[in-house]
């Protein structure tokens, strides 16, 4: 507390009922009333708590945004849920129902087993006696088991679950039931070795390998659903086709059908893949590829990922590679190409299961199990197991992972991986998305289909922000600095008092107004007037030069008659006149320089057509020129005000000294004022930069909002590429095209993002990046300014 | 002080002309800057005001034929421009004409090549009428039909007085319908909604439900009466018809009562034009929007902006002042304080969208969701009890430590250990209290019966105001601190020397002295808040709010409601309306209003500040 209080009542809190004591050294009229002291103490607490609380709350913003983006970078957790002994030890296939309450297992016998927590229940598939199942596998999308028999028949059994719950609090009882589909014969009475099934609308197709006596055969058999009056009609089998000749003697060992039911992927014994496609003319080999050509190894696992566009391959050395269908440059067909290589596991890959909701999958070796995400090609989590894995399964929501060990015990684990697609690589690295012919930085957060991969690279948005800022600064910095120099050094004090607030008013113009004017007034206005703008830009310095050179020819005594800062009043009309002239003569320049060739051979003077022809870059109506100009309104006053302050605060002793030594007024500015104020000017530029980076509404309204990538990325990240046109690296720094910035992206997409989704958190990450960028810029500027201030103190 | 070095340069300074051209070059920067700001303000003012000015209606006779006669079009010229023909590359002079009559033509604008115009005239009898539907109509009147048999020709001298009377009656009836539908039926509806929720919650016992159901039935019949009343009025609106002729010769008719306002632009005197101008301007400021915001007024947006800004100012003022007083008067100076100050300063430069993101995540989804349905992840009961117990214990301990002083101790500075214990106890209390409140397993929200439709868990005026007040907090803190430090040390010390307590000194000396500076800060904050749109877009602004945040239905202040805002109105009209060309006049008018508001606020702040600076300069010496 303050020392003065010792002069007051020595004990303000003394109990009034206490016995009287020796007379106080302070006379009664000098003692402070208790009310005052109590109020003082109360207010002290209020202000302490309030002040600290408010400041903590303000910094809480930082913490809160951080807490929202934190889960994006968390690795998944796998927690053991329960263990369940399965009835048979020979189990090779397990499946889970919706909530993993009733797992089922199948071992190739005539029965399927359901395992509830309390009992094991066998249910017959309904096979006719004597049928021997030689191949079985789980369908990728449904609770369905594909079956192949000893005598060359194929079919499947559907499993459905019904849950009963008598009251909301009572335990659920789940029962399963089976429905065997009619068998289809392959017309080759030999054991089925591999089988897959695909169904697309009314087209249904089985692909199978049978081990016929004359050698293994690749057979397909289709079904066509007749359209009846009463909805879906009867299924009608088409005769089986033998595709073995297409294999050219290679022995097929595994077959896969994508969901489109028009292609087959066959793995041969020589570890090659054959991609067979049903063209209108019949089946043909579209591609032959050896995925592990660089290492001598065997393919042990091959399956499609959700969406049936990517193949996951595992080998006996623990390698996992992903092949995706895309149209390579120079081709018109979709072919497989390796898009990802995962970090190898320590054990051979033996088991695989894919999620039915996104591109994550689980592979397992003997005692290792890895949760992976295909789009980013990352192993998200590795589980070291104390037992040997025999089989894997995931439920439909990919929330539970079941692992069967060699003793036939099912280990159920809860998988918690809400944001598998997130990570540093996603946000800042190039990613080879499905269907793309090369890795790309791309932002496309929402798509039309279920199996759409969100593309969440922040790079195009950051580039967009930098691009917008760059053009805004290019326009604003010269004007703001020149104006600041003139105002602080050459203008008379009385004019300055009007000019400064006028420029400050510019800072208060709401950005939504600037954006509206940019888009609906400026953009259409200058769309056809680019040559005029070019001339206008030239005319302004020209007018200054003309005026200046006339001025120095005026005799000195007449010059001195003019009051200080009058150049400005003389210059303004000249500039306006020259500017108007430049505006009018734009079309003349256009017809002189910017003549575009039309497809029909004629020529036309139009900059909008000339620009794409000359540079190979697009020309948009809402482009960076417009954004740069309008952002100028936001940035110029910020830079102007701070730079002007810095320039005005240069100690007069220094400028007077320079003048006394005979320097001209420009020499004073150049040699004394500018160097001393340079730190202040620099901090002004940084604060201006911060304002431009975060500007939202102008960009939302005045740009096309197309996320830009690539050439810009190449430039920044040093991957020399091949852009088009005359200037290969310039296609996305193009001043006449639009862009999407971080801030605009947030404003546009956040209202639609579901709370807690990866998209939502990624937008928060964008906000965090913006926050950090501007905060760092501003802090650096502030520190610079403080140093400057100290420097002046010494001077 | 700052002017000390800016004395006019001596003539010696001009002896050397070196770099004189560069001096002129620097002048261009200022010229361009001033041109930009003045040009922009003039552009907006001109365009914004000309929206209200009644413009003449021209009748164009085209060279093309239609039904055997030359085609005629009547309208207001809105733009002259040059277009480049796609085929030949020739420049073509064309005009844009506002033809109105969207119900007849489908579009309200038409482009005409100058070369296709045979003649242009300004016939005196054209009427421009604003209608409650389909926007403006431009026509010549034919006759008034009072009933299928009784009509009044336009050439009759009583025609215009009669038309004026009918339009006035129609307007009165429309007001009545609005009052009925919005206020009375709205009030009944609100009561029905409440009753239905109570019925849903009430147990199924008959004696519980019977009185409620009876009340409900009564309210429903009340509703039906009001609805028939409104329907009768609506039918009455359609009785009198105005038959009119378009420029093309087509005759159409229009219910007179649906005309809001009409005038004959080609017969107006200058005074008459002014009257219409004022009428338009007042209607713009006071009416509700029509036709997807492209017609009518912007009263709800003005009101929304006003309420939001006031709410924001009411929140930011005490917070900003308390924080500034803490920083300036109570906190210990040092590197820590210095860095806090820099950080607070820099928060002013953080993009507004970041605050919006925070507002959405924390206030709307976090706090709003909590108010709606209680904590998303409540603590298990046992842990919650432990936490609340801990909070109580730590509160008691903290109180004991803080308040229990022996008389001699009261004047001694507290020992380090003791103040540390005190502080950590208070912090523990605060954290535990927060925890028990935020994670209480017994709280299921105030609006759980309305779920899943959110009440506070979606954007609203309260959240928008809080978000903006957080955004403008640094502005107020910085301005207040600056003002506090400008109060001379001598005055403060004098007050303390006279025996004032610290708070008395702050309250009676420092704060009054700093008041103009604080005012400046608040005004600047309000100006920034009024013009900001990006954070509002994600925290509760909508293009068309069905009701105002303040109204006559209890509890009168509806802080959870979405609201309209001038800035968002501009964004929405200019970018999301189906016909942005038709919306442009409205956007310019709204822009003018917003700019006017913001510029006036800023000029006031600048005035106060410069006045303050001069006063300080005077008092420093």
| Chain A: closest CA distance from residue B247 (Å) | 30
CB-based contact (8 Å) between B357 and chain A?
A: yes
Give the model's pLDDT for residue B4: 41
Provide the pLDDT confidence category of residue A132 given band limits of 50, 70 and 90.
Answer: confident
CB-based contact (8 Å) between B31 and chain A?
A: yes
Binding-face residues of A in 55-114 toward B, CB within 8 A: 55, 57-59, 61, 64-65, 68
3-state secondary structure B434-496: HHHHHCCCCCCCCCHHHCCCCCCCCCCHHHHHHHHHHHHHHHHHHHHHHHHHHCCHHHHHHHH
Give the model's pLDDT for residue A607: 79
Q: How far apart are CA B368 and CA B556, in angstroms?
A: 20
Q: How far is CA A141 from the centre of its chain?
A: 28
Please write the tens of the pLDDT for every residue from B141-155: 888 888 888 888 888
Would you say residue A590 has pLDDT above 70? yes
Please write the tens of the pLDDT for every residue from A324-343: 888 888 788 888 888 888 88
Closest to A147 (Cα-Cα) out of A98, A190, A114, A184:
A184
Q: How far apart are CA A516 and CA A498, in angstroms?
A: 28
Considering only residues A202 and A550, tell me which one the structure prediction assigns the higher pLDDT.
A550
Q: Residue A774: its chain B contacts at CB < 8 A?
A: 346, 349-351
Other CB atoms within a 10 A radius of the CB of residue A403 amount to: 26
Query: What token pair was written down for A526?
Result: 């200058």
Would you say residue B414 has pLDDT above 80? no
Strands in B69-84's sheet, in edge-to-edge order, are B109-113, B91-98, B69-84, B58-66, B117-121
Please write the tens of the pLDDT for every residue from A358-412: 888 999 988 889 999 988 888 888 888 888 888 888 888 888 998 988 888 888 8
Provide the pLDDT confidence category of residue A485 given band limits of 50, 70 and 90.
Answer: very high
Give the model's pLDDT for residue A363: 92
Provide the pLDDT confidence category of residue B467 given band limits of 50, 70 and 90.
Answer: very high
CB-based contact (8 Å) between B367 and chain A?
A: no
Query: What token pair was written down for B47?
Result: 């365009």
The residues facing A225 across adjacent strands are A235
Would you say residue A413 has pLDDT above 50? yes
Please write the tens of the pLDDT for every residue from A712-754: 333 333 333 333 333 333 445 566 666 778 888 888 888 888 8
**Do A54 and B473 make contact, defined as CB atoms within 8 angstroms?**
yes
Classify domain B301-374+444-616 at the CATH class level.
Answer: mainly alpha
Backbone angles phi, psi at B173, to 5 degrees: -65, -35
Give the model's pLDDT for residue A391: 87
Give the model's pLDDT for residue B65: 80
Would you say residue A308 has pLDDT above 70? yes
Considering only residues B121 and A33, tell me which one the structure prediction assigns the higher pLDDT.
B121
Please write the tens of the pLDDT for every residue from B213-241: 888 888 889 889 888 988 888 888 888 88
Judge contact between A666 and A557, C-beta under 8 A: no
Give the model's pLDDT for residue A226: 66
Give the model's pLDDT for residue A481: 93
Judge contact between A153 and A184, C-beta under 8 A: yes
Per the prediction, chain A carries an average pLDDT of 81
The torsion defined by the Cα of B399, B403, B406 and B409, in degrees rounded to 10, comes to 110
CB-based contact (8 Å) between B336 and chain A?
A: no
| pLDDT-above-70 percentage for chain A | 87
Would you say residue A9 has pLDDT above 70? no
**Do A506 and B595 make contact, defined as CB atoms within 8 angstroms?**
no
**Contacts with A164 (C-beta within 8 Å, 6 or more apart), sequence order:** A172, A173, A174, A175
Q: How far apart are CA A421 and CA A398, in angstroms?
A: 14
Other CB atoms within a 10 A radius of the CB of residue B498 amount to: 10
Label residue B333 exposed, middle or buried (CB < 10 Å: 0-12, 13-18, 19+).
exposed
Of B323, B327, B599, the CB nearest to A508: B599
pTM of the predicted model as reported, rounded to 2 decimal places: 0.85
Q: Residue A548: its chain B contacts at CB < 8 A?
A: 20-25
DSSP B141-159: EEEEESSSS-EEETTSTTH
ipTM of model over 0.95: no
Give the model's pLDDT for residue B13: 43
Per the prediction, chain B carries an average pLDDT of 83
Q: Could you say which architecture CATH assigns to the domain A459-527+618-791? A: Orthogonal Bundle (1.10)
Provide mean pLDDT across the span A528-537.
85
Length of chain B: 621
Q: How far apart are CA A243 and CA A252, in angstroms?
A: 11
Provide the pLDDT confidence category of residue A230 given band limits of 50, 70 and 90.
Answer: low
Give the model's pLDDT for residue A290: 87
Give the model's pLDDT for residue B251: 86
Considering only residues A658 and A563, tell me which one the structure prediction assigns the higher pLDDT.
A658
Query: What token pair was written down for A673?
Result: 């004022």
Query: What token pair was written down for B290?
Result: 């029509």
3-state secondary structure B229-275: HHHHHHHHHCCCEEEEECCCCCEEEEEHHHEEEEECHHHCCHHHHHH
Judge contact between B343 and A779, C-beta under 8 A: yes
**Contacts with B383 (C-beta within 8 Å, 6 or more apart), sequence order:** none
Of A501, A669, A775, the CB nearest to B350: A775
Please, what's the b/e burial string for B229-239 (b: 16 or more CB within 10 A of its CB; e: otherwise)? bbeebeeebee
A76-89+291-455: CATH superfamily:
YVTN repeat-like/Quinoprotein amine dehydrogenase (2.130.10.10)
Give the model's pLDDT for residue B410: 52
Closest to A133 (Cα-Cα) out of A114, A146, A116, A150:
A150
Q: How far apart are CA A565 and CA A493, in angstroms?
A: 9
Judge contact between A339 and A431, C-beta under 8 A: no
Q: If you ran DSSP here, which 8-state letter would residue B181 be given? A: I
**Do A484 and B3 make contact, defined as CB atoms within 8 angstroms?**
no
Phi-psi region of A189 (alpha: psi -120 to 50; beta: other; left: phi over 0): beta
Please write the tens of the pLDDT for every residue from A757-795: 888 999 999 999 988 888 888 888 888 888 777 776 644
Q: How far apart are CA A708 and CA A689, in angstroms?
A: 20
Closest to A291 (Cα-Cα) out of A254, A248, A258:
A254
Q: How far apart are CA A328 and CA A337, in angstroms?
A: 8
Interface A–B counts its CB contacts (< 8 A) at 390
Judge contact between A389 and A724, C-beta under 8 A: no
The residues facing B178 across adjacent strands are none
Provide the pLDDT confidence category of residue B136 given band limits of 50, 70 and 90.
Answer: confident
Provide mean pLDDT across the span A286-306.
87
Would you say residue A14 has pLDDT above 80? no
Would you say residue A125 has pLDDT above 50? yes
Other CB atoms within a 10 A radius of the CB of residue A189 amount to: 14
Give the model's pLDDT for residue A714: 35
**Do B345 and A782 make contact, defined as CB atoms within 8 angstroms?**
yes
Would you say residue B408 has pLDDT above 60? no
Q: If you ran DSSP here, which 8-state letter would residue B550 be given? A: B
So where are chain A's domains? 76-89+291-455, 126-164+174-283, 459-527+618-791, 529-605
Q: How far apart are CA A281 and CA A272, in angstroms?
A: 25
Give the model's pLDDT for residue B392: 93
Give the model's pLDDT for residue B278: 93
Most confident of A279-288, B125-134, B465-474: B465-474
Binding-face residues of B in 573-612 toward A, CB within 8 A: 574-575, 580, 584, 587, 591, 594-595, 598-599, 601-603, 606, 610
Is the sign of the CA dihedral B415, B418, B419, B420 positive or negative? positive
| pLDDT-above-90 percentage for chain A | 6
So where are chain B's domains? 58-140, 147-239, 301-374+444-616, 380-403+416-441
């Amino acid at each position: 507390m303050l020392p003065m209080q010792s002069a007051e009542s020595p004990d303000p809190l003394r109990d009034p009922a206490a016995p009287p004591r020796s007379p106080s050294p302070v006379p009664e009229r000098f003692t402070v009333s208790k009310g005052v002291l109590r109020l003082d103490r109360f207010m002290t607490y209020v202000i302490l708590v309030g002040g600290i609380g408010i400041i903590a709350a303000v910094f809480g913003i930082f913490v809160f945004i951080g807490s929202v983006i934190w889960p994006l970078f968390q690795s998944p957790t796998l927690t053991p849920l329960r263990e369940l002994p399965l009835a048979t030890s020979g189990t090779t296939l397990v499946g889970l129902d919706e909530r993993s309450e009733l797992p089922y297992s199948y071992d190739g016998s005539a029965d399927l087993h359901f395992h509830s927590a309390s009992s094991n229940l066998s249910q017959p598939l309904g096979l006719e006696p004597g049928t021997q199942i030689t191949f079985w596998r789980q369908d990728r999308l449904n609770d369905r088991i594909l079956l192949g028999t000893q005598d060359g028949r194929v079919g499947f059994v559907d499993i459905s679950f019904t849950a009963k719950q008598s009251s909301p609090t009572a335990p659920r009882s789940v029962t399963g039931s089976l429905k065997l589909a009619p068998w289809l014969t392959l017309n080759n009475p030999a054991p089925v070795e591999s089988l897959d099934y695909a169904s697309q609308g009314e087209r249904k197709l089985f692909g199978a390998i049978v081990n016929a006596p004359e050698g293994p055969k690749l057979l397909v058999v289709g079904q066509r659903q007749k359209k009846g009056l009463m909805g879906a009609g009867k299924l009608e089998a088409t005769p089986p086709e033998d595709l073995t000749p297409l294999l050219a003697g290679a022995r097929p060992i595994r077959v896969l059908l994508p969901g489109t039911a028009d292609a087959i992927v066959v793995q041969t014994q020589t570890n090659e893949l054959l991609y067979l496609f049903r063209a209108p003319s019949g089946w043909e080999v579209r591609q032959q590829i050896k995925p592990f050509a660089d290492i001598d190894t065997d393919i042990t696992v091959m399956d499609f990922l959700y969406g049936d566009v990517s193949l996951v391959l595992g080998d006996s050395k623990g390698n996992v590679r992903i092949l995706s269908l895309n149209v390579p440059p120079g081709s018109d067909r979709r072919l497989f190409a390796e898009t990802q290589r995962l970090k190898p596991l320590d054990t051979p890959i033996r088991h695989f299961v894919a999620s039915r909701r996104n591109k994550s999958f689980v592979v397992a070796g003997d005692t290792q199990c890895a949760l992976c995400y295909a789009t980013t090609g990352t192993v998200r989590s590795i589980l070291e197991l104390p037992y040997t894995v025999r089989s894997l399964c995931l439920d439909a929501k990919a929330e539970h992972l079941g692992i069967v060990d060699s003793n036939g015990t099912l280990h159920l684990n809860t998988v918690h991986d809400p944001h598998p697609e997130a990570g540093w690589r996603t946000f800042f690295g190039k990613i080879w998305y499905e269907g793309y012919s090369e890795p790309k930085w791309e932002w496309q957060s929402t798509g039309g289909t279920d199996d759409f991969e969100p593309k969440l690279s922040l790079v195009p948005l950051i580039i967009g922000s930098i691009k917008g800022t760059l053009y805004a600064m290019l326009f604003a910095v010269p004007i703001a600095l020149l104006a600041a120099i003139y105002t602080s050094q050459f203008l008379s004090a009385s004019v300055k008092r009007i000019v400064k607030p006028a420029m400050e008013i510019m800072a208060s113009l709401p950005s939504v107004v600037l954006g509206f004017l940019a888009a609906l007034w400026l953009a259409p206005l200058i769309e056809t007037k680019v040559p005029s703008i070019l001339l206008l830009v030239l005319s302004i310095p020209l007018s200054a030069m003309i005026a200046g050179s006339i001025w120095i020819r005026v005799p000195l005594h007449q010059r001195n008659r003019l009051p200080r800062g009058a150049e400005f009043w003389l210059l303004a009309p000249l500039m306006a006149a020259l500017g108007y002239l430049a505006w009018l003569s734009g079309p003349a320049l256009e017809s002189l320089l910017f003549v575009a060739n039309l497809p029909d051979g004629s020529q036309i003077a139009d900059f909008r057509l000339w620009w794409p022809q000359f540079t190979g870059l697009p020309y948009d109506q809402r482009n960076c020129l417009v954004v740069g100009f309008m952002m100028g309104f936001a940035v110029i006053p910020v830079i102007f005000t701070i730079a002007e302050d810095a320039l005005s605060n240069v100690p007069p002793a220094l400028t007077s000294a320079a003048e006394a030594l005979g320097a001209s007024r420009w020499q004073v500015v150049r040699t004394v004022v500018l160097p001393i104020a340079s730190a202040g000017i620099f901090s002004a530029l940084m604060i201006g930069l911060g304002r431009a980076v975060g500007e939202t509404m102008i960009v939302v309204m005045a740009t096309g909002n197309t996320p830009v990538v690539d050439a810009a990325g190449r430039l920044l990240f040093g991957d020399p590429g091949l852009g088009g046109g005359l200037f290969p690296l310039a296609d996305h720094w193009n001043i006449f095209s639009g862009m999407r910035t971080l801030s605009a992206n947030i404003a546009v997409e956040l209202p639609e993002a579901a709370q807690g989704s990866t998209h939502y958190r990624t937008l928060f990450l964008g906000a965090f990046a913006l926050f950090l960028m501007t905060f760092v810029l501003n802090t650096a500027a502030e520190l610079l300014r403080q140093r400057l201030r100290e420097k002046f103190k010494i001077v | 002080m700052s002017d000390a070095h800016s004395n006019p340069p001596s003539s010696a300074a001009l002896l050397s002309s070196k770099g004189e051209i560069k001096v002129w070059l620097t002048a261009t920067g200022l010229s361009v800057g001033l041109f930009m700001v003045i040009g922009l303000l003039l552009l907006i003012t001109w365009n914004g005001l000309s929206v209200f000015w009644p413009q003449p209606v021209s009748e164009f006779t085209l060279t093309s034929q239609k039904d055997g006669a030359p085609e005629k079009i009547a309208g207001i010229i809105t733009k002259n421009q040059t277009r480049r023909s796609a085929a030949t590359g020739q420049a073509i002079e064309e005009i844009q004409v506002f033809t109105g009559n969207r119900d007849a033509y489908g579009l309200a604008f038409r482009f005409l090549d100058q070369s296709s115009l045979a003649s242009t005239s300004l016939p005196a009898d054209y009427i421009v009428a604003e209608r409650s539907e389909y926007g403006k109509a431009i026509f010549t009147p034919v006759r008034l039909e009072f009933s299928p048999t009784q009509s009044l020709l336009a050439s009759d001298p009583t025609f215009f007085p009669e038309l004026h009377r009918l339009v006035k009656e129609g307007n009165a009836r429309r007001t009545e319908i609005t009052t009925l539908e919005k206020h009375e039926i709205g009030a009944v509806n609100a009561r029905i909604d409440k009753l239905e929720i109570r019925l849903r919650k009430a147990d199924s016992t008959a004696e519980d439900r019977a009185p409620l159901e009876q009340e409900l039935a009564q309210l429903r019949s009340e509703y039906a009466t009001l609805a028939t009343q409104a329907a009768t009025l609506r039918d009455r609106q359609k009785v009198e018809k105005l038959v009119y002729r378009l420029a093309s010769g087509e005759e159409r008719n229009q219910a007179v009562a649906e005309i809001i306002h009409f005038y004959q632009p080609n017969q107006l005197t200058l005074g008459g034009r002014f009257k219409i101008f004022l009428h338009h301007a007042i209607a713009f400021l006071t009416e509700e929007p029509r036709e997807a915001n492209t017609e009518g007024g912007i009263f709800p947006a003005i009101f929304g902006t006003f309420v939001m800004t006031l709410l924001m100012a009411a929140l930011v003022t005490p917070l900003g002042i308390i924080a500034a007083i803490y920083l300036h008067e109570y906190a210990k100076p040092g590197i820590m304080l210095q860095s806090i100050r820099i950080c607070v300063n820099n928060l002013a430069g953080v993009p507004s969208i970041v605050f919006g993101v925070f507002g959405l995540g924390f206030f709307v989804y976090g706090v709003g969701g909590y108010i709606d349905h209680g904590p998303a992840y409540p603590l298990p009961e046992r842990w919650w009890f432990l936490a609340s117990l801990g909070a109580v214990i730590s509160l008691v301990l903290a109180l004991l430590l803080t308040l229990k002083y022996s008389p001699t101790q009261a004047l001694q500075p507290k020992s380090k250990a003791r103040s540390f214990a005190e502080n950590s106890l208070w912090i523990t209390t605060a954290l535990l209290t927060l925890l028990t409140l935020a994670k209480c397993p017994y709280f299921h929200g105030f609006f759980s019966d309305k779920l899943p439709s959110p009440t506070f868990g979606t954007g609203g005026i309260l959240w928008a105001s809080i978000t903006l007040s957080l955004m403008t907090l640094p502005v107020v803190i910085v301005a207040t601190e600056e003002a506090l430090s400008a109060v001379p040390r001598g005055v403060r010390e004098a007050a303390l020397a006279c025996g004032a307590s610290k708070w008395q000194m702050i309250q009676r000396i420092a704060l009054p002295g700093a008041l103009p500076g604080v005012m400046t800060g608040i005004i600047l904050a309000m100006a920034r808040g009024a013009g900001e749109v990006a954070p509002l877009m994600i925290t509760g602004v909508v293009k068309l709010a069905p009701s105002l945040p303040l109204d006559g239905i209890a509890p009168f202040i509806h802080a959870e409601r979405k609201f309209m805002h001038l800035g968002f109105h501009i964004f929405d009209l200019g970018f999301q309306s189906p016909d942005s060309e038709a919306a442009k006049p409205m956007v310019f008018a709204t822009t003018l209003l917003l700019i006017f508001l913001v510029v006036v606020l800023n000029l006031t702040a600048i005035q106060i500040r410069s006045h303050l600076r001069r006063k300080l300069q005077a008092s420093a010496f």
